[in-house]
Amino acid sequence: MELPLVVGVDGSEPSLRAVDWAADEAALRGVPLRLVYASLWERYEGAALATGLGRSSEQVLADTIVEAAAKRAHRREADVKISTEVLPEEPVPALLREGQIASALVLGSRGRGGIAELLLGSVSLAVAARADCPVIVLRGSHDNRATSATRGRVVLGVGEEPENSAAVRFAFQEAAQRRVPLEAVRAWRCPGYETTDHPLMAGEPARLHEERAVQTLDAALRDAPEGVELHRRTAEGPARTVLLDASADAGLLVVGAQRRHGHFGLQLGRVAHTVLHHCACPVAVVPQRA
């Protein structure tokens, strides 16, 4: 059975953008689309009250939200199979559970204009930091118009251990489905203690670090599928800064996140955390089991 693409909806503009984007993505992947609304309305309203009076106002609102989202997705991609679910529980655990049987989770950024629009909502951050499947957060395009999933190249942030990387495989897949180029980026820095004032050694430490970055890129792209247009780029500087610059005109930025056994807190590195808050395009955080 094909795993669905799951979208968290709450009626906000960011979640509507997520529905549009996910409908396009589901059509590209050829998978079902599942729309999920999670709220503790039953806990607060009371199950007995909801039974005695018919449906509570919160339940009516929840049903209205998912029905409107489903109609919106159907108008955008009529051939995609769509299902909906209203869950009476906290959004984060509900979405994490949904992610166990999903091909990916798609979430809105939940910002609300000005400075707030630059910041990621707590639900999106918590899910991206703990989910078992890739989580795509809709950054950029801060109006009510979703950017099509087929526009712009895919940018991949290549980490320290690219071999057998889930993020690399995900980026290959996304670029192939979209029929767009894949730009693999590896940032490098030369520590200050390795520099020297000797004229014969000038630039030597930096050259060695850049060569290592090139080798890391080659390892990451070794198993690239045929037909994907590849671009390799190394850049000196902090990885988060390099990737934010690369995302300015990209369609999707892909980064990895280590998931360590026995660790139950938020598992996001500094790079993934930064791009989730400030990226100019959608960000896919792909978990990698350590």
Summarize pLDDT for 36-47 with one digit per residue, the tens: 999 876 544 444
Task: Read off the tokens for 257.
Answer: 């996140």
pLDDT bin (cut points 50, 70, 90) of residue 267 is low
Q: Kindly tell me if the per-residue pLDDT of 96 is higher than 60.
A: yes
DSSP class of 2: P
Q: Between β-strands 82-87 and 182-188, what pairing exists: parallel, antiparallel or unpaired?
A: unpaired
Q: Kindly tell me if the per-residue pLDDT of 202 is higher than 60.
A: no
pLDDT bin (cut points 50, 70, 90) of residue 261 is low
Q: What pLDDT, in 10s, does the model give residues 147-193?
A: 555 578 999 999 887 777 899 999 999 999 999 999 999 999 876 54
Q: Are 111 and 118 in contact (CB under 8 A)?
A: yes
End-to-end CA distance of the chain: 27
Mean pLDDT of 81-89: 94
Q: How far is CA 12 from CA 5, 123, 138, in A?
A: 19, 13, 13
> Alpha-carbon distance 41 to 202, whole Å?
65
Mean pLDDT of 274-286: 92
SS (H, E, C) 179-194: CCCEEEEEEECCCHHH
Length reported for the chain: 290
Cα 286 to the chain's mean position, in Å? 7
> Alpha-carbon distance 246 to 239, whole Å?
10
Q: Kindly tell me if the per-residue pLDDT of 110 is higher than 80.
A: no
> Alpha-carbon distance 169 to 89, whole Å?
33
DSSP class of 87: E
> Alpha-carbon distance 126 to 96, whole Å?
9
Residue showing tokens 């449906």: 55
Cα 48 to the chain's mean position, in Å? 39
pLDDT bin (cut points 50, 70, 90) of residue 258 is confident
